[in-house]
Amino acid sequence: MGRAADLDTSTSASLFRSPHHSPGSDSPPSKLLSNSKPMHFGARQVLFREGDHAEGVFILLGGIVRLSRYLPSGRRMVGAFVFTGGIIGLSFDDVYPFDAEAVGPAIVCRFNRAKLSMLTAELPDLQADIVNHLQHLLADAHRDQLPLLNLHAEARIAAFLRMVARCSHDSLANGVKIELAMTRVDIADYLGLTTETVCRAFARLRRDLIVGGSHPNIVRILDVDLINALADGKM
């Protein structure tokens, strides 16, 4: 289990990544956070497992959470990485359809579904925020994941780096350093590649001076135009 933590109220500014509300105390995100105590989860700690009763909804205040499930073949598929401001565990079913696990240290607020339903009834703008968030999730999946099926390995890595930069609110430009909290195995399971293919693709991007950096978890963008061309399937 995660442990309770003190909340940095500035995190409410990015809740749902909504452009419609300021982080003031009267905004729906702030009112929502005031009804829950944040909790810390360590790296690889599990928020819930696939098949667990879906009684809680989580808001990610800091860190990254990996959503995954195992296929009948036994292979793991990473469906998404949730970044700060994301909602985890909304389900139309009575059970969670995936595992949720902290990639590194993470802070979340947890609400039971009954409490969240009551709050959305009291705060119509909050309900609109949640619907808006879900719409963005669908748009993100359409933009970030579906095109990957038609890309070669280096292009998938480029698209992944662009996605991480965007979700981390970093601008993608020459010289920008992108921190990858995920392992190469995580990235491979997200991109539908083998770990060996991911490692070779990163090596080729470094060899071609498209990215740089000596640390495996820090990637420095050297040629943003080529990154975008690869990610858009133009190379």
Bridge partners for 56 per DSSP: 112
Smallest Cα–Cα separation from 182: which of 60, 80, 89?
80
Q: Quick one: pLDDT at residue 147?
A: 62
* Local mean pLDDT, 10-residue blocks, the chain (235 residues): 43 41 44 74 96 90 94 92 88 88 94 76 73 68 67 94 86 90 96 96 96 91 96 90
Q: Quick one: pLDDT at residue 185?
A: 97
Q: Which CATH superfamily is domain 3-143 in?
A: Jelly Rolls (2.60.120.10)
Q: Is the dihedral of CA 171, 109, 2, 52 positive or negative?
A: negative
pTM of the predicted structure, to 2 decimals: 0.80
Smallest Cα–Cα separation from 62: which of 104, 24, 98?
104
Q: Quick one: pLDDT at residue 7?
A: 37
Q: Quick one: pLDDT at residue 99?
A: 96
Tokens representing residue 3 in the block: 């442990």
Tokens representing residue 187 in the block: 């990235």
Q: Quick one: pLDDT at residue 216?
A: 84
Local structure of residue 210 (DSSP, 8 states): S
| Residue ranges of the chain assigned to CATH 2.60.120.10 | 3-143
> Considering the domain 146-231, what is its CATH architecture?
Orthogonal Bundle (1.10)
| Residue ranges of the chain assigned to CATH 1.10.10.10 | 146-231
Classify 93 as helix, strand or coil. coil
Q: Quick one: pLDDT at residue 117?
A: 73
Angle formed by the axes of helices 153-167 and 224-231, nearest 10°: 110
